[in-house]
Chains A and B, each alone.
Chain A
């Protein structure tokens, strides 16, 4: 008891030196990770200053003109800003609504499959699309969505009218999110299946003895095992609320679907990269990151209060 308090009284460097002598290898193991974060995540933060400049690459960070909040004003005054923010949030809300539970459901279902060979085939087939390049996926979606494409063949089979699926603003989110689920469901379920593999068999045995049927076992045994993981995944997912990958949007949208499909990242791509307005892009990125951070902190606090589960 006396020892820790004595240690606490000592200065930080002395405690560090002492701890290092006790566990030298742990410090060496941590070094590359610390360096990685310093080099690739903390050092580049310096670049945020260009959000407050009219940055011209040839003049550099020190030679470019300071413009204060001009870039932020430019974005928020743009007639498209409200729509961009709305579309970004809506795509994310719907993605979480439909896309977040999908791999959990798949994992729960696969967990109940007893035929091992069948289970493996399903798993492999379902995570295969994850490895196909996004450009190819979008090429397939475009081809299938044509008037004479696969999706319209299916519609026609059921007596529905053929429509230009990717030319209709109201269908854009559906196509975007459904294809996202299709591509990522198998891959996303792996982490849940891995957790379930470590579930205590005694719990299931006890549940069976208590007379629980299959469905009740899923609800009362399997699901609680997953809760900590689900909460963690959810909190991290909330940190992506203002992000929608620009690549897939740009590959799929047309001016006809800007109404629902144009998001912050695609706007940043058009203005920031194509027109090389790096400052504007950085300003919008900074704005997004601030909101994302607030959401992560908020969700985490909420979860700690309600579920007693949290990241930190």
Chain B
């Protein structure tokens, strides 16, 4: 009897705790007596063509109606985000919330909290942002990425739970399809293939530059063949390495210098606008985002084709330079000047609930989208064929929230970009070559969060290192500096303290991999 009572009591407590957990797991919108909160956020340049504030964005309109909390957007001038942010900090007149692409405060969010600019969210998350807290509790990788070295949460960040981390490889070499066919060389895969094509262009297309690349000479789509990446650090055999300080850089630079000498690159590739060069027929190939190129070239009537990444030889195992991490950048923080931080937390939490994510990802419910038969949102004609928006890219930023604005849960572009939904060719184009069997993203590392001290030390060394290395990379390519001096280059980097940078980062990365949530 006693035992039965015990079981009964146990079940009862479990039920009670379960129901209280359920109650905490969601916030009842609209909140009572919601206030107006100000939020500083860069306005997407595509959106700025049609609207002056995210208050006109339909996802935000609905979110405010639904949560009962109003927003007042403060947008910095486009192109002056950093200056504007620094000015706001220096003047000590912060908005209630701040959204940035990457932490802008000198020393990162850790320093910002230490200096009393942003607030520490850790202890209040369970109560005021249950949906966000739930994600953190279930996705350790995400928690690791956004928590500080001592396990605190200082910012909401964009969250993308992608099962396929490779989906994001969107930068590819884009080539004029008609010329490629004319040359009869077929799909270009190896360095030899590319050089044959470049030579064919030089011989057959008067005045056309075979290849237009990024102005800094460090083009990701080419450097990948040498295991070199634009990111500061990559991971090989468990150890971090810096591409700027890697012996393989010499091989890459030798190739680029050869291409420069042979005229495959323009003599002033540093200052050439590669997109413009390709679209005006002045360049035969360039590296760029595939979806953008596909749609622009379609409207301009230029035949274009995606190429697989450059390889030194057929079948070489490539390690990609871009992976989708759960932390999809975009950081929203709450400042110490916010009078109602709990309300701000409740508002932001909406974007991490399933319904809220639908609102931001797809637009105004029942207007821009409805639930389809599979229970997933489907766009209506209001989104796909809206007479007010001749260019679907504009509606992407106005009728829904494409990027920026506020941190929230983000779905895959494949389902949320109307372009992809409207024109399956676009999605196919983007996913082309994704089935490459000899491609992985093992060398990518997520963004590292340093302690304030490490960050100061690393930044002060890295700035000069980057300046010097940027300069030398271009000089090696143009031949202003002979590659015989490559060892001197490595020695100079060493004297500038690059090994200390590596050491700091390795330590940070190791700690990152080891830390686990307290709960």
Which A residues are within 8 Å of any B CB, using their own CB?
A: 56-59, 74, 78-80, 142, 145-147, 162-167, 169, 254-256, 258-259, 270-271, 273-277
B268 in the interface, Cβ–Cβ < 8 Å? Answer: yes
Complex Cα–Cα for A57 and B115 (A):
9
- Rounded to whole Å, the gap between the CB of B277 and the closest CB of chain A is 10
Chain B 212-245, CB-CB to A under 8 Å as 1, else 0, gives: 0001100000000000000000000000000000
Complex Cα–Cα for A147 and B208 (A):
12
Q: Which of A59, A162, A273 contacts B115 (CB 8 A)?
A: A59
Which B residues are within 8 Å of any A CB, using their own CB?
A: 82-83, 86, 89-90, 92, 106, 111-112, 115-117, 215-216, 266-268, 270-272, 459-460, 463-464, 467-468, 470-471, 473-475, 478, 480, 492, 496
Tell me if A56 and B106 are in contact (CB < 8 A). Answer: yes
Tell me if B270 and A254 are in contact (CB < 8 A). Answer: yes
Q: Which of B83, B266, B467 contacts A258 (CB 8 A)?
A: B467
Question: Which residue, of B89, B90, B216, B268, has the highest number of chain A Cβ atoms within 10 A?
Answer: B268
Tell me if A79 and B468 are in contact (CB < 8 A). Answer: yes
- A-B CB contact pairs (8 Å), 5 listed: A79-B492, A166-B271, A167-B270, A256-B474, A256-B475
Closest to B492 in A: A79
A-B contact count (CB 8 A): 82
Tell me if B468 and A164 are in contact (CB < 8 A). Answer: no
- Rounded to whole Å, the gap between the CB of B87 and the closest CB of chain A is 9
Closest to B91 in A: A57
Tell me if A275 and B464 are in contact (CB < 8 A). Answer: no
Tell me if B266 and A270 are in contact (CB < 8 A). Answer: no
- Rounded to whole Å, the gap between the CB of A169 and the closest CB of chain B is 7
- Rounded to whole Å, the gap between the CB of A165 and the closest CB of chain B is 8
- Rounded to whole Å, the gap between the CB of B482 and the closest CB of chain A is 15
Complex Cα–Cα for A147 and B271 (A):
10
Tell me if B459 and A275 are in contact (CB < 8 A). Answer: yes
Tell me if B471 and A255 are in contact (CB < 8 A). Answer: yes
Residues of A close to B271: CB separation below 8 A: 142, 145-146, 164, 166-167, 254
Complex Cα–Cα for A167 and B216 (A):
12
- Rounded to whole Å, the gap between the CB of A290 and the closest CB of chain B is 24
Complex Cα–Cα for A259 and B492 (A):
16
Tell me if B464 and A79 are in contact (CB < 8 A). Answer: yes
Complex Cα–Cα for A148 and B242 (A):
37
User: Lowest 6 CB-CB distances: which A-B pairs, in order?
Assistant: A164-B268, A58-B115, A57-B90, A255-B470, A276-B106, A255-B471
Complex Cα–Cα for A57 and B88 (A):
10
Complex Cα–Cα for A165 and B471 (A):
17
Complex Cα–Cα for A78 and B266 (A):
33
Tell me if A162 and B464 are in contact (CB < 8 A). Answer: no
Complex Cα–Cα for A57 and B441 (A):
40
Tell me if B117 and A58 are in contact (CB < 8 A). Answer: yes
Residues of B close to A165: CB separation below 8 A: 268
Residues of B close to A147: CB separation below 8 A: 266-268
Tell me if A274 and B475 are in contact (CB < 8 A). Answer: no
Closest to A164 in B: B268
Complex Cα–Cα for A251 and B253 (A):
27
Tell me if B83 and A273 are in contact (CB < 8 A). Answer: yes
Given contacts A166-B268, A167-B268, contact A79 B459 (CB under 8 A): no
Closest to A143 in B: B271
Residues of A close to B86: CB separation below 8 A: 57, 273, 276
Tell me if A80 and B467 are in contact (CB < 8 A). Answer: yes
Closest to A256 in B: B474
- Rounded to whole Å, the gap between the CB of B225 and the closest CB of chain A is 23
Residues of B close to A78: CB separation below 8 A: 464
Closest to B112 in A: A58
Complex Cα–Cα for A142 and B112 (A):
39
Closest to B116 in A: A58
Residues of A close to B83: CB separation below 8 A: 273
Tell me if A271 and B463 are in contact (CB < 8 A). Answer: yes
- Rounded to whole Å, the gap between the CB of B40 and the closest CB of chain A is 15
Complex Cα–Cα for A78 and B497 (A):
12
- Rounded to whole Å, the gap between the CB of A86 and the closest CB of chain B is 15
Tell me if B460 and A74 are in contact (CB < 8 A). Answer: yes
Residues of B close to A166: CB separation below 8 A: 268, 270-271
Q: Which of A146, A273, A276 contacts B268 (CB 8 A)?
A: A146
Q: Apart from A80-B467, A167-B270, A255-B471, list 18 A-B contacts with CB within 8 A.
A: A56-B106, A56-B111, A58-B89, A58-B92, A74-B460, A79-B464, A142-B271, A145-B268, A145-B271, A165-B268, A167-B267, A167-B268, A254-B271, A255-B270, A255-B474, A258-B467, A275-B106, A276-B106
Complex Cα–Cα for A239 and B460 (A):
31
Residues of B close to A74: CB separation below 8 A: 460
- Rounded to whole Å, the gap between the CB of B273 and the closest CB of chain A is 10
Tell me if B267 and A164 are in contact (CB < 8 A). Answer: yes
Given contacts A57-B89, A167-B267, contact A254 B464 (CB under 8 A): no
Given contacts A57-B90, A147-B268, contact A256 B496 (CB under 8 A): no
Complex Cα–Cα for A59 and B480 (A):
46
Residues of A close to B470: CB separation below 8 A: 255
- Rounded to whole Å, the gap between the CB of B218 and the closest CB of chain A is 10
Closest to A64 in B: B115
Question: Which residue, of A57, A74, A270, has the highest number of chain B Cβ atoms within 10 A?
Answer: A57
Residues of B close to A142: CB separation below 8 A: 271
Question: Which residue, of B266, B470, B471, has the highest number of chain A Cβ atoms within 10 A?
Answer: B471
- Rounded to whole Å, the gap between the CB of B477 and the closest CB of chain A is 9
Given contacts A57-B89, A58-B116, A74-B460, contact A256 B467 (CB under 8 A): no
Complex Cα–Cα for A296 and B496 (A):
37
Residues of A close to B216: CB separation below 8 A: 255
Closest to B118 in A: A58
Complex Cα–Cα for A74 and B463 (A):
13
Residues of A close to B90: CB separation below 8 A: 57
- Rounded to whole Å, the gap between the CB of B393 and the closest CB of chain A is 26
Residues of B close to A80: CB separation below 8 A: 464, 467-468
Tell me if B464 and A56 are in contact (CB < 8 A). Answer: no
Complex Cα–Cα for A169 and B459 (A):
27
Closest to B475 in A: A256
Complex Cα–Cα for A162 and B209 (A):
14
Complex Cα–Cα for A254 and B492 (A):
21
Question: Which residue, of A145, A258, A259, has the highest number of chain B Cβ atoms within 10 A?
Answer: A258
Tell me if B272 and A256 are in contact (CB < 8 A). Answer: no
- Rounded to whole Å, the gap between the CB of B140 and the closest CB of chain A is 32
Tell me if B270 and A164 are in contact (CB < 8 A). Answer: yes
Tell me if B480 and A169 are in contact (CB < 8 A). Answer: yes
Given contacts A79-B464, A79-B468, contact A56 B115 (CB under 8 A): yes
- Rounded to whole Å, the gap between the CB of B451 and the closest CB of chain A is 16
- Rounded to whole Å, the gap between the CB of B323 and the closest CB of chain A is 27
Residues of A close to B272: CB separation below 8 A: 146
- Rounded to whole Å, the gap between the CB of A65 and the closest CB of chain B is 12
